[in-house]
């Protein structure tokens, strides 16, 4: 007998009235309804709302607010006219103090889930400016053939379409109000239709505008754009499809840490923290917590261009930095030389690989510093002889991987002695935190 394919019926999407009893680590409201957990964009703890389901899974529903029936006392009017559309910020509808409190609660819940820790040694959070804190950002670009226009802005929430913002209050003031002018200038010449994205970087010396284009653009067209924005202190870098930012010739951007009399240069494809003031406070907190002495040898993994390494070298006997990106390692070495630091050594290694063959792996370091990407440090923690360290400082940009990796550190007989949030990205769901572990 012939068998005919019968597609399974998808769960229907609908509207539900919900009481929000918490929030998750992405800043979404959490409710329980008809045996499922609902994650609701735009909802705050303590509110009663109507929510429209966007995705109905077997155990949970992803949804967004349709109407707020009983608002939270922490609900505020968003300061950005494009907040409802733009995907850059998620929490402008919540006051800043409540954002930090909810993020702390979310981290606590993750430590309980992954590491069975119910009581955490919370320290005062690091709080920076709530606006104009981003010194770098990436603008999405798309040529709309029907409108014969290059769209420039940020991706819309939950979509690939572009929100052509009028002003971004999160960007540094060098760029904040000038995106419409840049958009209009690029639309004066069809050659710019091939621009795929624009990277903005506000640095100590210039405001860099990296224009990535997929087809050639004439020198004359480039010069018109550069002249138009010359009074803003912008420096344009034109990146073709065959160019690599790490190899292109341009004046290197830089930033300074005045407290430590240090200057850092980097290439525009190197990672640097986008919030300069919180970065400075984060480094100071790391040094305060570690209390390094001239007897300490620090192993700094995921060391980048030396953001922590060079400061630690001012206090420690020696610092060994390991990073997976060769251009960042080269900049770390150059920065150490520029700042006359002779007690540092930097190595390039993939920290997810087998590391036993690496020369630095058998070092006599007694302090471990970790600043991994969102993937966390699980692979390297499983390989390191953790019991050789007296202290482990973990700087995290993802609370899920921090909580997961903490279980590995606890298993090696360490105690969590300090934990603090760093509000690196106000008005967004991103959570940055720092944890100090000490050997029992």
Q: What stretch(es) of the chain map to CATH 2.40.50.140?
A: 15-75
Would you state the structure tokens that stand for residue 248, as one six-digit string? 């292109």
Query: DSSP string covering 351-386, please?
Result: TTS--TT-GGGG----EEEE---TT-SHHHHTTS-G
Dihedral sign from CA coordinates of 278, 284, 287, 291: negative
Name the nearest CA neighbour of 232 among 276, 275, 178: 178
Say if residues 183 and 228 touch (Cβ distance below 8 Å).
Answer: no
Name the nearest CA neighbour of 422 among 400, 402, 395: 395
Q: What stretch(es) of the chain map to CATH 3.40.50.150?
A: 112-129+255-439
Q: State the Cα–Cα distance between residues 190 and 144, nearest whole angstrom.
A: 12
Dihedral sign from CA coordinates of 310, 312, 314, 318: negative
Predicted pLDDT at 20: 96
Q: State the Cα–Cα distance between residues 371 and 303, nearest whole angstrom.
A: 7
Would you state the structure tokens that stand for residue 23, as one six-digit string? 């929030």
Predicted pLDDT at 2: 46
Predicted pLDDT at 362: 81
Q: From residue 186, how far is each of 151, 222, 224, 374 by CA, in Å?
A: 10, 10, 10, 34
Q: State the Cα–Cα distance between residues 248 and 254, nearest whole angstrom.
A: 16
Mean pLDDT by groups of 10 residues along the chain of 440 residues: 44 81 91 93 95 90 95 96 94 96 96 96 97 97 96 93 95 96 97 97 93 97 95 94 89 96 97 97 98 98 98 98 97 98 98 92 94 97 96 98 98 98 96 97
Predicted pLDDT at 9: 43
Catalytic residues: 397
Predicted pLDDT at 321: 98
As its CATH architecture, domain 136-239 has Beta Barrel (2.40)
- Reply yes or no on domain 112-129+255-439 having CATH 3.40.50.150: yes
In the DSSP assignment, the letter for residue 302 is S
Would you state the structure tokens that stand for residue 166, as one six-digit string? 């009028």
In the DSSP assignment, the letter for residue 188 is T
Q: What stretch(es) of the chain map to CATH 2.40.50.1070?
A: 136-239
Query: DSSP string covering 5-67, please?
Result: --PPPPPPP-EEEEE--EE-TTS-EEEEETTEEEEEET--TT-EEEEEEEEE-SSEEEEEEEE
Q: State the Cα–Cα distance between residues 296 and 314, nearest whole angstrom.
A: 11
Domain 15-75 -> CATH class? mainly beta
Predicted pLDDT at 229: 94
Q: State the Cα–Cα distance between residues 41 and 158, nearest whole angstrom.
A: 11
Q: Which residue has the tokens 């979310």?
A: 106
């Amino acid at each position: 007998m012939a068998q005919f394919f019968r597609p399974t019926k998808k769960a229907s999407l609908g509207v539900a009235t919900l009481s929000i009893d918490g929030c998750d680590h992405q800043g979404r409201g959490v409710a329980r309804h008809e045996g499922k957990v609902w994650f609701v964009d735009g909802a705050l703890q303590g509110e009663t709302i109507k929510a429209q389901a966007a995705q109905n899974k077997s155990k949970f529903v992803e949804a967004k607010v349709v109407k707020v029936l009983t608002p939270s006392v922490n609900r505020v009017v968003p300061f950005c006219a494009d907040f409802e559309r733009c995907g850059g910020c998620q929490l402008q509808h919540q006051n800043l103090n409540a954002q930090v409190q909810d993020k702390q609660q979310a981290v606590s819940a993750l430590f309980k889930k992954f590491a069975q820790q119910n009581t955490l040694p919370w320290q005062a959070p690091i709080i920076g400016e709530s606006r104009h804190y981003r010194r770098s950002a990436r603008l999405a670009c798309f040529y709309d053939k029907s409108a014969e226009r290059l769209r420039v802005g940020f991706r819309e929430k939950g979509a690939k379409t572009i929100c052509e913002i009028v002003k971004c209050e999160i960007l540094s003031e060098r760029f904040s109000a000038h995106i419409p002018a840049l958009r209009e200038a690029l639309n004066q010449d069809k050659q710019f239709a091939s621009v795929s994205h624009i990277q903005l970087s506000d640095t100590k010396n210039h405001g860099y505008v990296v224009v990535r284009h997929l087809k050639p653009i004439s020198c004359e067209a480039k010069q018109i754009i550069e002249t138009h924005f010359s009074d803003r202190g912008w420096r344009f870098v034109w990146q073709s499809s065959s160019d690599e930012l790490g190899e292109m010739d341009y004046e290197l951007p830089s930033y300074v840490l005045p407290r430590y009399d240090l200057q850092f240069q980097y290439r525009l494809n190197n990672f640097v923290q986008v919030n300069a003031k919180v970065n400075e406070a984060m480094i100071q907190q790391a040094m305060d917590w570690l209390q390094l002495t001239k007897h300490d040898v620090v192993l700094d993994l995921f060391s980048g261009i030396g953001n922590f390494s060079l400061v630690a070298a001012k206090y420690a006997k020696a610092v060994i930095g390991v990073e997976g990106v060769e251009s960042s390692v080269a900049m770390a070495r150059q920065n150490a030389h520029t700042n006359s630091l002779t007690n540092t050594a930097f190595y390039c290694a993939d920290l997810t690989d087998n590391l036993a063959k690496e020369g630095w792996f058998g070092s006599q370091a007694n302090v471990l510093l970790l600043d991994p990407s969102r993937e966390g440090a699980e692979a390297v923690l499983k390989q390191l002889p953790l019991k050789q360290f007296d202290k482990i400082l973990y700087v995290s940009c993802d609370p899920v991987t921090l909580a997961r990796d903490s279980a590995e550190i606890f298993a090696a007989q360490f105690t969590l002695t300090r934990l603090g949030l760093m509000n690196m990205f106000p008005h967004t769901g991103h959570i940055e935190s720092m944890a100090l572990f000490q050997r029992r």
